[in-house]
């Protein structure tokens, strides 16, 4: 087995709590097991309050802080200057009780990559460093259950790179996951596969099935979704892409009958339900990996409360609450609770005064006491002015 994977299993693991614990200030399961249901409910989220000193509107009882700015050193004893155009990100637990927030850089012409910001158990930033360099337009991606970060390049010859959040191992390109305008990826261990989105008007929804079993991403079968409708139910049929490297034809054009998804963006898996968004039509989709059905669970064009537009990065709490960050729109992170009928979009936060930007990389720390995200272009509308924030419960 690749040393990268074995080492990550020992030192890193993704957190497993819920959005309710974030709302309640990181309550432990052991201490509050009887209150789980109440804290998993989103009913306790109140209206957004006036903007704080960082220009962020939050529910009562929350606070924000800036943890990094593009071009500046987030940690005094580190030489790493936070990258321009921060985009997709995720958090990883470390063996010392701290965590690492990794963040893509969506810069062109080999100026992109991934940066990492390490925190100790007290939540103090103690180190910053690059984990991928000399790549282009690293947009979103996805965390793996074995503790690596998959960084996706968003251009027509884009690749996926598997990165070590600790920075000890060199990143590895994964061409078997296809050559196309990648956006995001979600791992499905139960079905030995990864799902990928493509950010073009007629983009595909892809499934990579590992040949040797996950966590091996070096070889396998790349498939693209075809949608079949029967008795009012839309179902996905997966069709093999003959040439994942797209030496002659684009992957999305190789298979007759492949479904077109208008600007695929964020994607995440929760309990056999795969949620992903398409920015071109402001929709949120849900694919059931068991019965293969697919449906639109939110459509801004027909919603009774269309506050969510410019749908982009996605993160899901283990309770199943889907958090969608906006690229433009009202610069909000909006919560969707798929189990509610009808689905009621609820704003979790909103950034004011940064209308030329987008919210990127939402990710909870392993204890679910903090939420990280970036404003890609900051106050000036320029990627060199990106700002990365932390939101937490105000316990003062």
Identify which has the larger pLDDT, 37 or 226. Answer: 226
Q: Measuring CA to CA, which residue among 172, 291, 183 is closest to residue 237?
A: 291
Average pLDDT over residues 244-267: 98
Predicted local confidence at residue 30, as pLDDT:
32
Decide if pLDDT at 194 tops 60. yes
Q: What is the pTM of this model?
A: 0.91
Predicted local confidence at residue 396, as pLDDT:
63
Identify which has the larger pLDDT, 254 or 35. Answer: 254
Residues in Cβ contact with 282 at an 8 Å cutoff, skipping those fewer than 6 apart: 299, 300, 301, 306, 308, 309, 310, 311
Q: Measuring CA to CA, which residue among 41, 65, 50, 185 is closest to residue 117?
A: 65
Average pLDDT over residues 172-195: 98
How many Cβ atoms from other residues are within 10 Å of residue 386's Cβ?
A: 27
Decide if pLDDT at 290 tops 90. yes
Predicted local confidence at residue 195, as pLDDT:
98
Average pLDDT over residues 299-315: 96
Q: pLDDT band for 320, please (50, 70, 90 cuts).
A: confident
Average pLDDT over residues 348-371: 95
Mean pLDDT rounded to a whole number for the chain = 90
The top-scoring range by mean pLDDT among 10-14, 21-25, 188-192 is 188-192
Cα–Cα distances (Å) from 80 to 99, 115, 127, in that order, read 18, 9, 9
Identify which has the larger pLDDT, 367 or 295. Answer: 295
Q: What percent of the chain has pLDDT over 70?
A: 89
Tokens of 231: 């008795």
CATH number of 3-393: 2.120.10.30
Identify which has the larger pLDDT, 195 or 9. Answer: 195
Q: Which of 19-28, 46-55, 126-135, 246-255 has the lowest mean pLDDT?
A: 19-28
Average pLDDT over residues 29-40: 33
Question: How does pLDDT run across 346-355, given as a tens digit for each residue?
Answer: 999 999 999 9
- The angle at the Cα of 54, spanning 53 to 56, to the nearest 5 degrees, equals 105
How many Cβ atoms from other residues are within 10 Å of residue 355's Cβ?
A: 12
Q: Measuring CA to CA, which residue among 114, 116, 103, 91 is closest to residue 12?
A: 91
Predicted local confidence at residue 395, as pLDDT:
76
Residue 196 bridge partners (DSSP): 185, 206
Identify which has the larger pLDDT, 31 or 390. Answer: 390
Average pLDDT over residues 262-291: 97
Decide if pLDDT at 41 tops 70. no
Q: Measuring CA to CA, which residue among 261, 244, 273, 255 is closest to residue 186?
A: 273
d(CA 275, CA 241): 22
Tokens of 264: 């695929």
Q: What percent of the chain has pLDDT over 90?
A: 82
Q: Which of 6-15, 69-78, 220-229 has the lowest mean pLDDT?
A: 6-15
Q: pLDDT band for 279, please (50, 70, 90 cuts).
A: very high
Average pLDDT over residues 269-274: 95
Which bin fits 74, alpha (ψ -120 to 50), beta or left (φ > 0)?
Answer: alpha
Residues in Cβ contact with 311 at an 8 Å cutoff, skipping those fewer than 6 apart: 265, 266, 277, 278, 279, 282, 283, 284, 324, 326, 327, 329
């Amino acid at each position: 087995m690749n040393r990268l994977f074995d080492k990550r299993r020992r030192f890193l693991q993704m957190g497993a709590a819920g959005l309710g614990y974030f709302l309640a200030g990181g309550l432990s399961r052991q201490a509050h097991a009887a209150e789980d249901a109440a804290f998993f409910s989103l009913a306790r989220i109140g209206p957004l309050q006036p903007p704080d000193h960082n220009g962020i509107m939050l529910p009562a009882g929350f606070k924000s802080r800036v943890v990094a700015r593009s071009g500046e050193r987030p940690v005094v004893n580190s030489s790493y200057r936070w990258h321009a155009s921060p985009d997709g990100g995720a958090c990883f637990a470390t063996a010392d009780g701290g965590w690492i927030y990794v963040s893509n850089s969506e810069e062109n012409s080999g100026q992109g990559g991934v940066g990492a910001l390490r925190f100790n158990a007290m939540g103090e930033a103690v180190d910053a460093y690059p984990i991928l360099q000399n790549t282009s337009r690293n947009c979103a991606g996805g965390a793996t259950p074995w503790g690596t970060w998959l960084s996706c390049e968003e251009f027509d010859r884009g690749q996926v790179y598997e990165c070590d959040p600790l920075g000890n191992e060199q990143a590895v390109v994964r061409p078997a996951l296809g050559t196309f305008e990648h956006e995001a990826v979600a791992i499905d261990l139960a079905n030995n596969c990864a799902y990928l989105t493509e950010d073009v008007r007629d983009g595909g929804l892809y499934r990579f099935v590992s040949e040797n079993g996950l966590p091996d991403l070096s070889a396998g079968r790349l498939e693209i979704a075809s949608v079949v409708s029967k008795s009012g139910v839309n179902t996905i049929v997966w069709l093999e892409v003959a040439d994942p490297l797209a030496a002659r034809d684009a992957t999305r054009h190789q298979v007759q009958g492949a479904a077109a998804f208008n600007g695929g963006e964020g994607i995440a898996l929760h309990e056999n339900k795969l949620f992903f968004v398409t920015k071109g039509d402001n929709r949120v989709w849900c694919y059931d990996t068991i019965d293969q059905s697919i449906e639109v669970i939110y459509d801004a064009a027909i919603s009774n409360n269309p506050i969510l537009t410019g749908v982009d990065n996605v993160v899901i709490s283990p309770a199943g609450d889907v958090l969608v960050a906006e690229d433009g729109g009202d610069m909000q992170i909006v919560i969707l609770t798929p189990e509610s009928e009808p689905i009621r979009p609820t704003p979790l936060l909103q950034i004011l005064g940064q209308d030329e930007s987008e919210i990127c990389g939402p990710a909870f720390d392993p204890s679910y006491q903090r939420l990280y995200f970036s404003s890609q272009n900051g106050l000036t509308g320029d990627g060199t002015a990106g700002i990365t924030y932390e939101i937490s419960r105000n316990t003062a």
